[in-house]
A and B are shown apart, each in its own frame.
Chain A
Amino acid sequence: QVQLVESGGGLVKPGGSLRLSCAASGFIFNDYYMSWIRQAPGKGLEWVSYISNSGSTIYNADSVKGRFTISRDNAKNSLFLQMNSLRGEDTAIYYCARGHPLGRDAYAIWGQGTKVTVSS
């Protein structure tokens, strides 16, 4: 079945780095745009980064620009988020999400999320 499985979350000190991964299965990965979307504890959803199906187009939220880098490996059906210079406000559940086949900027498939905690 269509599935996204995130991994790589954990506890990290402020200023540290983490690399999140998202393994995709059950669909043709390189047909779809993808995003990382996060949710701080008790808060709403916040879009983080977008990557086109080929990887040639990338957009980032201002809050992570210069610190986070989205990438994908279509041969390995995987999406990544390299997070550097982490701050307390980056503490959240991070979801990878797949674009809708017909809709623009709509996310039809979500992973279960991976928790990132930034604390000393």
Chain B
Amino acid sequence: QSALTQPASVSGSPGQSITISCTGTSSDVGGYNYVSWYQQHPGKAPKLMIYEVSNRPSGLSSRFSGSKSGNTASLTISGLQAEDEADYYCSSYTSSSTLVFGGGTKLTVL
């Protein structure tokens, strides 16, 4: 199972919005609404930000939103803040009953 494709890096200024894409195939992202997004700060464990494409865990900021079109899922962060600077990973359930992650995207807040 190949990793999902994410851009290596994205950047934005405070207050702006950014979108991170996550491209898979019809056997994973395109075939199921089981896409999640995780935020990871250096030296820390990942944190769930979005599950099942567009659902936010309880208590999470509404600045984070998710969507999907075809084989590509997206994470959008609006009103960018300094503390959003981190690595972001997408994941998807697959037709083999496994889980596949994206390669990760480093978000820099300028």
Taking Cβ atoms with an 8 Å cutoff, the residues of A that contact B are: 35, 44-47, 50, 59-62, 95, 100, 102-108, 110-113
Interface residue from A44, A47, A110, A111 paired with B98 (Cβ < 8 Å) = A47
Please measure, in the bound complex, the distance between the C-alpha atom of A105 and the C-alpha atom of B93, giving whole angstroms. 6
Chain B interface bracket (under 10, 10 to 19, 20 to 34, 35 or more): 20 to 34
- CB-nearest residue of chain B to A93: B45
Known: A100-B57, A103-B55. A44 touches B103 (CB 8 A): yes
| Interchain Cβ contacts within 8 Å, total number | 70
* Listed A/B pairs (15) with beta-carbon separation below 8 Å: A44-B89, A44-B101, A45-B40, A45-B104, A59-B97, A62-B1, A62-B98, A102-B55, A104-B51, A106-B48, A106-B51, A106-B91, A107-B36, A107-B48, A112-B45
Query: Scoring B residues 6 to 42 as 1 if CB is less than 8 Å from chain A, else 0, what string do you get?
Result: 0000000000000000000000000000101010100
Complex Cα–Cα for A78 and B84 (A): 33
- Complex Cα–Cα for A100 and B93 (A): 14
Binding site for A on B (CB under 8 A): 1, 3, 34, 36, 38, 40, 45-48, 51-52, 55, 57, 89, 91-93, 97-104
Interface pair A104/B93, CB less than 8 Å apart: yes
Q: How far is the CA of A82 from the CA of B34 in the complex (A)?
A: 28
